[in-house]
Amino acid sequence: MLYVTGDTHGEFERFEPANFPEQQEMGREDYVLICGDFGGVWDGSRRDARKLDRLEQLPFTTLFVSGNHENFDRLARYPVEEWQGGLVQRLRPHVLHLMRGQVFTLEGRTFFTMGGARSHDVEDGILDPRADDFEEQYRLLRSMGGRFRVAHRTWWRQELPSEAEYQEARRNLERVGHRVDYIVTHCAPNQVLDGLAPGESYTHDRLTDFLEEVRQATTFRHWFFGHYHEDRLLDGGFVLLWEQIVRLL
Ligand SMILES: [Fe+2]
């Protein structure tokens, strides 16, 4: 069995048995896959650890691609290993980060994964906590109700893929002949983005450009993504997920 859901942002109540009774039928070879903004690796507090331990206790295996709301500095400390044909980081024995640009085979189906997204609620800037005027700027922006983030605390450059990750993605898609069963990302390719909310603030960026390239060059059955906080079925096999948990396999 494989279920897919959208952004969790470190809140995993939806997976508790009362909210997700389907897990009674599930084992460790069954999966729940989160389309980014997992948020389970955040401030390194005991609360983080408790949440990951709770996920580990649930009967299924939790998988996620990265979003933009992950603590990438902390995430990077977990060792990388190979699993089901692609690279993962194992946060707990049954809680795995599916890394960018990988192709996994689960239950005989192939999945291309490419996490990441650009944060769009940062119009007032990214503050550097090492800057001399950091405290002053922080207080000022707070008092103005500014939309800003602090580097390495609430924003990370690694929210967008690196050049090496794009190359890895291209290599792996080439290897499988640009044909997979499913694609799992956090943000959407340009064409889908444009149709999602015309006139809204979602703009194209390097990653949505890349995903557009993938959309045009790759054959797939369904493409799951999150980030835009809506549950919606779209044309062309695209599925935008937020709080719903959808059974795929
Ligand atoms: Fe997001």
Query: pLDDT-based confidence at 220, cuts 50/70/90?
Result: very high
What is the percentage of the chain residues whose pLDDT exceeds 90? Answer: 95
Report the CATH number that the domain containing residue 170 is assigned in CATH.
3.60.21.10
Torsion on CA atoms 224, 225, 229, 231, rounded to nearest 10: -10
Domain C-terminal end among 154, 175, 210: 154
Tell me the residue length of the chain: 249
Per-residue pLDDT of 66-108, as tens digits, reads 999 999 999 999 999 999 999 999 999 999 999 999 999 999 9
Interatomic CA distance for residues 131 and 119, integer angstroms: 22
Same domain, 148 and 225: no
Same domain, 164 and 177: yes
Statement: residue 178 has pLDDT above 90: yes
Interatomic CA distance for residues 193 and 143, integer angstroms: 33
Could you list the beta-strand ranges (E) of 115-194. 126-127, 149-150, 182-185
Least confident of 122-126, 172-176, 210-214, 242-246: 122-126
SS3 content of the chain, % helix, strand, coil (to 5): 30, 25, 45
CA of 164 to the centre of ligand 1 (A): 22
**Number of domains composing the chain:** 2
CA of 71 to the centre of ligand 1 (A): 13
Task: Please identify every residue whose CB atom is under 5 Å from ligand 1, which is an ion.
Answer: 37, 67-68, 117, 227
Same domain, 34 and 113: yes
Least confident of 81-95, 129-143, 149-163, 199-213: 199-213
Same domain, 23 and 142: no
Same domain, 79 and 142: no
Same domain, 162 and 204: yes
pLDDT at residue 198 in the model: 64
Host domain of residue 129: 122-154
CA of 25 to the centre of ligand 1 (A): 30
CA of 153 to the centre of ligand 1 (A): 16
Torsion on CA atoms 116, 120, 123, 126, rounded to nearest 10: -20
Which one-letter DSSP state was computed for residue 97? E
Name the 3-class secondary structure at 95: strand
Same domain, 24 and 66: yes
Domain C-terminal end among 154, 174, 206: 154
CA of 242 to the centre of ligand 1 (A): 10
pLDDT at residue 173 in the model: 98
Query: pLDDT-based confidence at 202, cuts 50/70/90?
Result: confident
Phi, psi of 236 (to 5 degrees): 80, 15
pLDDT at residue 121 in the model: 83
Interatomic CA distance for residues 103 and 95, integer angstroms: 18
Least confident of 73-77, 192-196, 204-208: 192-196
Task: Tell me how crowded residue 94 is: count the other CB atoms within 10 A of its CB.
Answer: 17
Domain C-terminal end among 132, 154, 176: 154
